[in-house]
Structure 1
Amino acid sequence: MTDTSETQPADPATARHSPLRQVLRFLPLFAPILLWSVPCGVLLYAGQHWPTPITLAGTALFALGLVAMPLAMVHGHGRRQRDGAAIVGDTLLGASWILFTWSVILGVLLRLALLAAGVGEGQDRARIVTWAVLGVTAVLLLWGYVEARRVPRVRSLDVHLPRLGAGLDGTRVVLVTDTHYGPLDRARWSARVCEKVNALEADLVCHTGDIADGTAERRRAQAAPLSTVRATKARVYVTGNHEYYSEAQGWVDLMDRLGWEPLRNRHLLLERGGDTLVVAGVDDVTAESSGVAGHRADLAEALHGADPELPVLLLAHQPKFVDRAAEGGVDLQLSGHTHGGQIWPFHHLVRLDQPALAGLTRHGARTLLYTSRGTGFWGPPFRVFAPSEITLLVLRSPQR
């Protein structure tokens, strides 16, 4: 897909420190109850008057989901790290979110539409809503699963940087991010992604973190195809927040062995046609609080020794780092982290925490931010109205 749209201004309201973390603190307590009880009420107890065996069986099924989902998540993502349990828990989480969303939407809007149109009596309308919710949920689960598991499409766009020298015009930068190798074995998918990246003939290939859920030792086979990625100039990598859940230094060391250059608060110079681009990277913003010795996000250190007259391309996992990037005079920041929301309408919560959801946005007088929707998926194996991507950014100079 080629995107030639203009840069969109960032919403300043989303750049502020958000209350999302406060919400997330209590989410594990009330979310499972909400996700399973609301659809149960809408589908079984909102005037349908199903036969008693159907009502009891349906209620038991929702109760089973309510109990099984958190138990599977604890066993899958807790200290035991059981991949089978993680797959069950993640799938139930995604399915319940989609079912909850459309129970709320259709439970209100479709019911009102049927009432306004004078369609059926109360019980008939209630049953139409039930079957509509189940049908939409089934379609979205199937489509979302296919979307999550496929090799991403390429999103291509030109990025105009006023300070870019003419020799660097046409520089091809490929961005992959948030691969999230995890409980579902995606080694073949990983190899196919790398083949698609290589077909783009990039000068620079960037991975902006969240490689996997799990340690480098556990996910090595899925990450191994990254060694086959080709670039004429460099392959560079920065940590994401998920590395700090899974022995971050192990991932830094593995990426180094796979031939990628970890940019941990440092930079390299990309020279082309007699002009130079500073390519810098910082650790994720969660690094300092992770307790991993020596890890922190430090832009000043990353740019130390670089000529301030040269244009700067910065890798930072989370879009929220763009405030510091703008203060530091960065020309273009590449980020991931948001997944574009992954499963609609979760993007509304993401926007509480990040200044951008996806695409190219401007921040301050100079700085552009490109936020990828991510190459893989986290947790629930579904993507709904938030397609994954491999991004090709062609840098353009005003001097060409």
Structure 2
Amino acid sequence: MFAPEFPRAIVILFNWGFGFIVIVAVAQILLDAGTMMSSLLRPEGVNVGDGVRYALAGGASILAVVAVANAIRVPPIKDVEVEIAGLPKPFDGYRLLQLTDIHISRLFPQDWAQAMVERANASGADLMVITGDFIDGSVAMRRNDVAPLGDLHAPGGVYAIPGNHEYFFDYAGWIRHLTGLGIVMLRNEHAILNRDTSQLILAGVTDLSAPAHGQAGPDLAAALAGSPSGLPVILLDHEPRNARKAAAQGVALQLSGHTHGGMIIGLDHLVARGNAGFVSGRYDVAGMTLYVSNGTALWPGFALRLGRPSELTRITLRTKD
């Protein structure tokens, strides 16, 4: 699960090579399958010249370049509106910016993080939320690379939850370090958002992988304990798999990541199967809105995107009539 600590150029080249091999393999399989089908219809056979195979290799090379370029870019702002029943009028138009799966690493280093933070700060969001997977590497390895995250700011603050990758690298150390950067970590906890005299509940849970690392697993009941009744709840949950349970407990909006949107069209269907059918975008789950972001970045060991672009998601809340 850990990306190698090679120079960034080597990691980029590795991902290009991996993408080239995958695309060539898929193209070759499709070509051979098509040739076999054609042979059944034409007894004299079908001759596929070397030129066709060379063209496939050239096309795969170009697609691999595009896939890596899509993966490592600083993502644009994607606007999404969400209607919430019972949303207090002062929160109509309230904007949250969701960052997720940032995966600060050799592939997404300090310069990339700084450019991403500048774009996030320019979004005009009222609140920023980060739904896990900040890093790949230890605090000592990533200290300088994550430093720009301390510059994130919004009037309502910056709140976050851990993702599964935080548990792979000194979980306690990362929680202390991220908190020291001014990020409020919600680990089975909630915060009250205020606007004028109105309030919302922002809750966050830990990741499903936490118990395997000796940490408390996600507990929405604990996260909501002591919260005022009758207020809409926005939930931060790194993985979307428990969305139906959240809906049953009255959550109005769940924000998740983890899937990277499936990364490549076609592969997203397989990723969805491992995430209760949720992989990318908006879902209506028993009246609750679930939004699964494609991710701000992704794991540097598989940094390819085709048709599933990265995003900084600006979510505007609207009162539902």
Does the TM-score normalized on the shorter chain lie above 0.5? yes
Q: Is 1:321 matched up with 2:246?
A: no
165-174 vs 341-350, which moves further? 341-350
- Residue by residue over 1:160-189, the C-alpha shift from the partner in whole angstroms, topping out at 9 and shown as x without a partner, is 001211111111100010011123252111
Gaps of 5+ in 1: 1-72
Q: Is 1:100 matched up with 2:21?
A: no
Deviation at 1:251, TM superposition (A): 1.9
Partner in structure 1 of residue 254 of structure 2: 333
The one of 82, 98, 109 equivalent to 1:159 is: 82
TM-aligned CA distance change 1:230 to 1:117, over 3 Å: farther
- Partner of 2:320, secondary structure, is coil
Cα distance in structure 1, aligned partners of 2:119 and 2:14:
31
- Is the 2:72–2:108 Cα contact (8 Å) retained in structure 1? no
TM-score, normalised to structure 2, is 0.90
- The sequence identity of aligned pairs, in percent, is 34
Cα distance in structure 1, aligned partners of 2:99 and 2:108:
18
How do 1:363-382 and structure 2 match up within 5 A? 363-364=285-286, 366-378=287-299, 379-382=301-304
Cα distance in structure 1, aligned partners of 2:188 and 2:281:
24
Deviation at 1:350, TM superposition (A): 0.4
- Is the 1:207–1:236 Cα contact (8 Å) retained in structure 2? yes
Cα distance in structure 2, aligned partners of 1:254 and 1:90:
30
Aligned amino acid, residue 171 of structure 1? Y
Deviation at 1:115, TM superposition (A): 6.7
Deviation at 1:308, TM superposition (A): 2.5
TM-score, normalised to structure 1, is 0.73
Deviation at 1:343, TM superposition (A): 2.9
Partner in structure 2 of residue 176 of structure 1: 99
Task: Point out 4+ residue stretches in structure 1 off by more than 6 angstroms.
Answer: 112-118
TM-aligned CA distance change 1:114 to 1:127, over 3 Å: farther
Cα distance in structure 2, aligned partners of 1:221 and 1:253:
15
Cα distance in structure 2, aligned partners of 1:322 and 1:185:
29
Q: Is 1:232 matched up with 2:194?
A: no
Q: Is 1:199 matched up with 2:122?
A: yes
- Residue by residue over 1:333-392, the C-alpha shift from the partner in whole angstroms, topping out at 9 and shown as x without a partner, is 00001111113332121011113111110111x311000000102123321121100000
TM-aligned CA distance change 1:329 to 1:105, over 3 Å: same
- Partner of 2:302, secondary structure, is coil
- Residue by residue over 1:125-161, the C-alpha shift from the partner in whole angstroms, topping out at 9 and shown as x without a partner, is 1424412321221111111121112111111011000
Larger relative strand fraction: 2
TM-aligned CA distance change 1:103 to 1:248, over 3 Å: farther
Partner in structure 2 of residue 138 of structure 1: 61
- Residue by residue over 1:83-105, the C-alpha shift from the partner in whole angstroms, topping out at 9 and shown as x without a partner, is 35983765544333222222223
Cα distance in structure 1, aligned partners of 2:105 and 2:29:
31
Larger relative helix fraction: 1
- Residue by residue over 1:262-285, the C-alpha shift from the partner in whole angstroms, topping out at 9 and shown as x without a partner, is 001101000113211100100011
How many pairs align?
316
Aligned amino acid, residue 289 of structure 1? A
The one of 265, 275, 289 equivalent to 2:198 is: 275
Aligned amino acid, residue 321 of structure 1? N
- Partner of 2:191, secondary structure, is strand
Aligned amino acid, residue 303 of structure 1? L
- Partner of 1:394, secondary structure, is strand
- Residue by residue over 1:295-333, the C-alpha shift from the partner in whole angstroms, topping out at 9 and shown as x without a partner, is 321111100011220000000000102122112110000
Aligned amino acid, residue 160 of structure 1? E
